């Protein structure tokens, strides 16, 4: 656990960076613009941030909204063309001569919850994201199931949503992944908005749908109830499959703790375990799950391979 890890949370518009020391969560966060289209500028920006540290870090750990293809080592990261399709780990290690660890942001979230958050004390932690998309990460014994990258925990995709809810037919909407009927198409911010437009013929933002639900308005309430009915079966199935005893929820919609509680209420009776305490719970690892998870994965990697 010795040494410092320079952690990055990299999005399409901004890079957040912080240093974590001796296994603790990262400290003060600095922000930089993402050179999103220029590969050389991107690599130079990361190098410059590392070189500006008062002490040379033992490793770099990066959280980003993409997937490392475990077969090729290449990144699939749609919103950062500068590094999409590249071997970022190899490129950065060659440039800086230090270990570089790259992990998906939902995976970082799940590890952050297992190590610092609501998953403490649980062996199997299934972190779920209700943000611009629906994602997830799967952790056992504080370690990611898919250490080499890949798609474990991605319960938001697959042709699984029921074709009716509340006694009326619901179509299988086309998903960005190429399949139709994914949970991603009806939950998360854009999914909730799509469902509301389908049910009521009006456009309403996800925050307005949730606040309308809290205010007891008929249309938003029906949208939220329909969403819960559609997502609860697939989520219960994912929980049965993984054996998770805690499901921390993150992402923009999960900041609404009443929404998370409603998901828990809808899902728990459908699981085989039917545990008595809450299963789907609000995230509790703090405001920077990408940085915290990257730090934890970085320290785990260094401990496993100190050289
Ligand atoms: Zn999909």
CATH assignment at residue 67 = 3.30.420.40
Best CA proximity match to 192, nearest among 220, 169, 218:
220
| Residues forming a β-bridge with 135 | 129
CA of 166 to the centre of ligand 1 (A): 23
In a domain, 112, yes or no: no
R_g over Cα of the chain: 20
CA of 56 to the centre of ligand 1 (A): 41
According to DSSP, the residues that pair with 165 across neighbouring strands are 168
Q: Tell whether 48 and 193 lie within a shared domain.
A: no
**Which residue blocks in 84-217 are alpha helix, DSSP H?**
88-96, 105-116, 188-200, 206-214
The answer to whether position 159 is within a domain reads yes
Report whether 127 contacts 137 (CB < 8 A). yes
Evaluate if residue 247 carries a pLDDT over 90: yes
Q: How do residues 197-226 score in pLDDT, each as one tens digit? A: 999 999 999 999 999 999 999 999 999 999
pLDDT at 1 > cutoff 70: no
Is residue 236 located within the same domain as residue 299?
no
Q: In this structure, are 83 and 156 located in the same domain?
A: no
Q: Ligand 1 mean position to 91 CA, how many Å?
A: 30
Phi then psi for residue 151, to 5 deg, are -115, 10
Point out which residues pair with 100 in neighbouring strands. Answer: 60
Considering the domain architecture, whether residues 267 and 181 belong to the same structural domain is answered as yes
The model's pLDDT over 8-17, given as tens digits with 9 standing for 90+, comes to 999 989 999 9
Q: What average pLDDT does the segment 74-83 reach?
A: 90
125 and 91 inside one domain = no
Assess if residue 124 is contained within a domain: yes
Strand partners, 59: 5
pLDDT at residue 218, as a whole number: 97
- Residue 55 shares a structural domain with residue 185: no
Number of domains present in the structure of the chain: 2
Confirm whether 20 is domain-assigned. Answer: yes
In this structure, the answer to whether residues 87 and 136 fall within a common structural domain is: no
Distance CA 153, CA 155 (A): 6
Rounded to an integer, the average pLDDT of 218-238 is 98
**Is the same domain home to 161 and 207?**
yes
The CA-atom distances, in angstroms, between 67 and each of 63, 76, 137, 151 are 10, 5, 12, 7
CA of 143 to the centre of ligand 1 (A): 26
Q: How far apart are CA 108 and CA 62, in angstroms?
A: 9
Neighbours of ion ligand 1 (CB under 5 A): 157, 175, 177, 179, 182, 184
Clarify whether residues 218 and 299 are in a common domain. Answer: no
How far apart are the CA of 178 and the centre of ligand 1, in A?
6
My answer on whether 153 and 225 are in the same domain is yes
3-state DSSP helix/strand/coil percent for the chain, to nearest 5? Answer: 40, 20, 40
Asked, for residue 87, whether it belongs to a domain, the answer is yes
* φ and ψ at residue 216, rounded to 5 degrees: 80, 15
Residue numbers of the domain that contains 247: 118-282
Asked whether residue 68 carries a pLDDT value surpassing 50, the answer given is yes
Structure-token pair, residue 41: 């500028």
The reply to whether 33 falls in a domain is yes
> Is the residue at 113 inside a domain?
no
Same domain, 101 and 156: no
| Average pLDDT along the chain | 94
> Are 204 and 123 part of one and the same domain?
yes
Report whether 1 contacts 303 (CB < 8 A). yes
Centre of ligand 1 from the C-alpha of residue 261, in Å:
25
Q: Residue 47, by phi and psi: left (phi above 0), alpha (psi -120 to 50) or beta?
A: alpha
In a domain, 123, yes or no: yes
β-strands 59-64, 30-33: how paired?
A: unpaired
Rounded distance from Cα 244 to ligand 1 centre (Å): 22
């Amino acid at each position: 656990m010795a040494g410092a890890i320079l952690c990055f949370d990299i999005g399409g518009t901004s890079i957040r960076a912080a240093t974590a020391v001796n296994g603790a969560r990262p400290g003060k966060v600095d922000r930089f613009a993402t050179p999103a289209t220029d590969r050389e500028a991107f690599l130079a920006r990361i190098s410059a941030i590392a070189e500006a540290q008062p002490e040379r870090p033992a490793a770099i750990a990066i959280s980003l909204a993409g997937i490392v293809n475990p077969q090729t080592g290449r990144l699939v990261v749609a919103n950062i063309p500068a590094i999409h399709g590249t071997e970022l780990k190899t490129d950065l290690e060659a440039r800086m001569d230090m270990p570089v660890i790259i992990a998906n942001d939902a995976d970082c979230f799940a590890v952050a919850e297992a190590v610092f958050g609501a998953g403490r004390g649980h062996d199997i932690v299934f972190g779920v994201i209700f943000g611009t998309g629906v994602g997830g990460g799967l952790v056992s014994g504080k370690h990611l199931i898919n250490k080499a990258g890949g798609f474990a925990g991605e319960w938001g995709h697959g042709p699984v949503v029921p074709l009716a809810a509340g006694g009326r037919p619901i179509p299988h909407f086309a998903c960005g992944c190429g399949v139709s009927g994914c949970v991603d198409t009806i939950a998360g911010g854009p999914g909730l908005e799509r469902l509301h437009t389908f049910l009521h013929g009006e456009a309403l933002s996800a925050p307005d749908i949730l606040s309308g639900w809290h205010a007891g308005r008929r249309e938003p309430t029906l949208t939220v109830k329909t969403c819960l009915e559609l997502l609860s079966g697939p989520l219960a199935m994912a929980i049965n499959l993984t054996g998770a005893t805690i499901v921390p929820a993150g992402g923009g919609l999960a900041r609404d703790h009443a929404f998370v509680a409603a998901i828990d209420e809808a899902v728990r009776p459908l699981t085989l375990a039917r545990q008595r305490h809450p299963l789907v719970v609000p995230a509790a690892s703090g405001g920077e799950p990408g940085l915290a998870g990257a730090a934890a994965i970085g320290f785990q990697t260094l401990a496993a391979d100190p050289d």
